[in-house]
Amino acid sequence: MIERLAIVGVGLLGGSVAKAVRARGAAREIVGVGRDLARLRPAVSDGAVDGVTTDLAEGVAGADLVVLGATVLANDALLPAVWAAVPAGACITDVGSTKRSIVREAERLTAERGDVHFVGSHPMAGGEKSGYGVARADLFERATVVVTPTKHRVDSAVDRVTTLWRTLGARVVVWDAEVHDRSVAAISHLPHVVAWALMDAVQRYEPAALDIVAGGFKDTTRIAASDPAVWREILLANRDEVAVSLGAFREALADLERLIAVADPAALESYLARVKTLREAVR
């Protein structure tokens, strides 16, 4: 049981943690911390949190578990103040989409104060909409959460964070921050970049064609409507790995384009069949 859970940034992910923890009775007290009291109010009204504050130190004081739910750069920036304000033995996690930067910052802070533990989290859940208004108690059910310890890994802290996500219905994998950032470049950041470029290309090439789009186009570009402020930070925080994944994508695209250009039906069909098999193997 969590005694006092502080959630800093009560948007889609932070708000869903609050609702899910509340729905399962997994914490005695839940406090929401944010910059704008008016935007925190809905979480009080619907009972997801017990109280809200704009004072970070007050919000996390006495918390045995803190979840940073702001954007990746904001989480990095908030971490030192949270670290200084929590009681000894407290555990801090986050829900950011990149992990190397916050894990390094936590390692630096551990050298200064070793009785606070950080274990990163990235719930592979959400959607192109953001804000508390779309938060849901069931958001993490059957989702995968990647948990990233620091080099000062403390097993009990990893267990606490792993238990939190399992309690909310998620499957947990524990990965190094480097492996995480490389993997999400491949299966999340690259698909976003491709979806934005695809939407932009149609607008440049043949905008009137948007009048006849069907499900395939809509599915492929759905994530092109993702939050620009959130994604600006993710892409810049992970830009080295995004660049490498884009290199792999350009190579794959050039190979496929060559198969179309040389008009070899058998080779083309065999490429498409191989990729179909890969896609069908995705859970």
Q: Least distance (Å) from a second copy to the CB of residue 77?
A: 14
Q: How far apart are CA 119 and CA 94, in angstroms?
A: 8
The CA distance from 147 to 276, in Å, is 30
Task: Decide whether 107 or 217 has the Cβ nearer to a second copy.
Answer: 217
Tell me whether residue 156 or residue 277 sits nearer to a second copy (CB atom). Answer: 277
| 155 versus 206: smaller Cβ distance to a second copy | 206
For the CB of residue 163, give the shortest distance to a second copy in the complex, in Å.
19
Task: Indicate the residue among 77 and 201 with the shorter CB distance to a second copy.
Answer: 201
Whether the Cβ atoms of residue 163 and residue 170 lie closer than 8 Å to each other: no
Phi, psi of 277 (to 5 degrees): -65, -40
CB of 191 to a second copy, least distance (A): 4
The DSSP secondary structure of 6-48, one letter per residue, reads EEES-SHHHHHHHHHHHHTT-EEEEEEE-S-HHHHHHHHHTTS
Q: How far apart are CA 186 and CA 279, in angstroms?
A: 14
Minimum distance between the CB of residue 110 and a second copy, rounded to whole angstroms? Answer: 26
Rounded Cα–Cα distance for residues 170 and 151 (Å): 24
Query: β-strands 117-123, 144-149: how paired?
Result: antiparallel
Looking at beta carbons only, is 37 or 252 nearer to a second copy? 252
CB of 87 vs a second copy, minimal distance in Å: 33
